[in-house]
Structure 1
Amino acid sequence: MNRRRALATGLGLGLAVGRASAAAPLPGPRFVNTVLLGGSPEEKLRAARAAGFDQVELWSSDVERAEDGAAGLRARVAALGLGLTDYQVLLDFDGAPGDKRAAKRNEALTLLDTAAALGAGTLLVPASTDPDCDPARITEDLVWLVDEARRRGLRIAYEGMAWSTVNPSLVQAWATIRELDPRHAGLVVDSYHLFVRGETPAILGDVPPERIFLVQVCDVAGPVQPSDYRAVARHARLLPGEGRLPLASLVGKLAAIGYRGPVGLEVFNDRLEHEPPEAVAKRAFAALQSLLVGAAP
């Protein structure tokens, strides 16, 4: 059986399982990544809070567009009673080749300082997508980054992306950060990156739940070819229940291992980004709740 057919079959089976059994409840905070919502940073925050979300994931672009920068966003988040799941994103850091390494470390320090200024406890760091990434430097770079995060009272959430040059799988990402400071280095579990590569939630049985710092969920319309991993991820993700990913199996595994951390939505969708943020946030929260606690949207 070729990879395409195998993945399609796996998604189909997962869909059947997901519909046949209700997902176990998860007690952690519910969050939304602001990339889902249109409008100004302040409008996104208001929409998220009104819809019922507990936390948000913020981007550096949110800080750049905010009326009063990091200080203004921090005040707005506090006034609304929201929490910050994480701040993002430090791209292509681990294993940066020699001619880029110093610049990437400077960028990392800036992002860490901004995260601290925002009151975000976690910086999200995907595994490098740089084709010139030097695998021999990855551990050294991550040790340095985690140490800098520790100095600021922050954590590093490491994410293997489906198209990463190194550590694209959850198995590889975990192997890379497993021996780092457990209080300051953990995993991002993202349903998109997990399932489109044909992985299953079984790997989570080998990960202590406290080393999973956050869980991002989304859906997709069908099997995704490797050549389309990035394009679909950045433009055509769907809300839970609108596609074919076996999300209930992921939620069930998280519940089985005792995960109690944040669970939320990272949904890049060109159409939803141009709809009124209040309506999108309300619909998104209902979809997340339907997945996590079995409530009808």
Structure 2
Amino acid sequence: MKLAFNGATTIRASLAEDIVCAKRAGFEMLEIWKSKLFDMIKNGGVETVKRLFEQNVLKPVTINSIEQATFSSREEKLDECEKLCELANMLNVEAIVVVPGFVRGRLDEATIVKESVEVLKQMASIARRFNVKLGFEFLGFSDCSVNTLTLAWKIVEQVGEDNVGLIVDTCHFFAGGSKLESLEQIDASKIIIVHVNDLPKLEGVKDSDRLMPGDGILPLRDFFKTLKKIGYSGPVSVELFNERYWQLSACEVAKEAFEKLKVFV
């Protein structure tokens, strides 16, 4: 497995800091936080970003993310997809993270699947023009339209495009009630990246509750055993939204993230 670092973990740092600190810590890959990317492009252009990745011999693996991709303004989201895919192609980024929409009230599964499949097919057509993949990331919150691995996998299977896969996040996996048995049913080649983090609890989980791998209660060793069982050998990335880490230097956080992630890999 390849070790990666997600820019959300150091949200107040710049993309340049993320690149330098991730490399210094020992990571092979970086997930780009899109607002940081736009800031760096505004100040120095795409070539500056590309050059910094090359100088640090660091692979930009994803751009995070198209949020509320479903059950929202489809034209707006398709435009965003094209913009991000174009940048991904220029920077040799493998995939764009696509996040399903939050909804008010309950929707039946057929409606959720129909909307999700339609949007992902349209985005896949755009992404293919730029030789980019899409990673569909379910969120384990009750008001997210797609909050379990089983439903996300059903959608990706129905999309049936070779450039559309899954992103599995340990926070959302366990907080949403997904089971390791369901992970065993997934085609490992369709997992784009795995986001790794820990939690202090499983009730009323918020993104800000996330902890470094091994600092909480999640059965991460069993999770990684299952990944190996299904033959997954792709990137695993530390992604936190915990404000405590935002107060620290990017290099300090990246170093801790690398040391705690490699215990499981």
TM-score for the superposition, normalised by structure 1: 0.81
Task: Give, in angstroms, the shift of residue 182 of structure 1.
Answer: 4.6
Question: How well do the aligned residues superpose, as a CA RMSD in angstroms?
Answer: 1.7
Match of 1:251 among 203, 220, 224: 224
8 A contact 1:214–1:263 mirrored in 2: yes
**Corresponding residue for 2:17?**
43
1:9-28 superposed matches below 5 A: 28=1
Structure-to-structure mapping, 1:173-188, within 5 angstroms: 173-188=152-167
Match of 1:71 among 47, 53, 66: 47
2:126 aligned residue: 148
In structure 1, give the amino acid aligned to 2:84.
L
Q: How many residues align?
A: 256
Match of 1:128 in 2: 101
Q: Can you give the 5+ residue segments of structure 1 that lack an aligned partner in the other structure?
A: 1-27, 293-297
Structure 2 equivalent of residue 138 of structure 1:
116
Aligned to 1:108: 81
In 2, the alpha carbon distance for the partners of 1:268 and 1:138 equals 26
Rg larger in structure: 1
Letter in 2 for 1:159: E
Distance 1:59 1:249 in 2: 29
Match 2:61 to one of 69, 76, 85: 85
Letter in 1 for 2:32: L
Letter of the aligned partner of 2:29 in structure 1? Q
Q: In the aligned structure 1, how far is the partner of 2:228 from the partner of 2:17? A: 33
Which amino acid in structure 2 is aligned with residue 55 of structure 1?
A: M
Shift of residue 236 of structure 1?
A: 2.6
CA contact (8 A) 2:139 2:148 kept: yes
Distance 2:256 2:80 in 1: 35
1:179 aligned counterpart, secondary structure: helix
Q: Is the 8 A contact 1:182 1:211 kept in 2?
A: no
The answer on 1:58 being equivalent to 2:16 is no
Check conservation: 1:157, 1:188, Cα contact below 8 A.
yes
TM-aligned CA distance change 1:50 to 1:189, over 3 Å: same
SS at match of 2:31: strand
1:279 matched to 2:255? The reply is no
1:93 touches 1:104 (CA, 8 Å); kept in 2?
A: yes
Relative contact order higher in (CA < 8 Å, ≥ 6 apart): 1
Say if 1:121 and 1:155, in contact at 8 Å, map to a contact too. Answer: yes
Q: Is the contact between residue 136 and residue 167 of structure 2 (CA under 8 Å) also seen in structure 1?
A: yes
Q: Distance in 1 between matches of 2:186 and 2:66?
A: 23
**Corresponding residue of 2:240:** 267
Match of 1:193 among 159, 172, 182: 172
Contact 1:86 / 1:121 at 8 angstroms: preserved in 2? yes
1:58/1:86 contact within 8 Å kept: yes
Structure 2: gaps (5+ residues):
none
Contact preservation (8 Å) 1:239, 1:267: yes
TM-score by length of 2: 0.91
CA distance in 1, matches of 2:180, 2:61: 22
Q: 1:240–1:288: 8 Å Cα contact kept in structure 2?
A: yes
Choose 273-282 or 109-118, whichever is displaced more.
109-118
Question: What secondary structure is seen at the aligned counterpart in 1 of 2:263?
Answer: helix
Identity %: 25
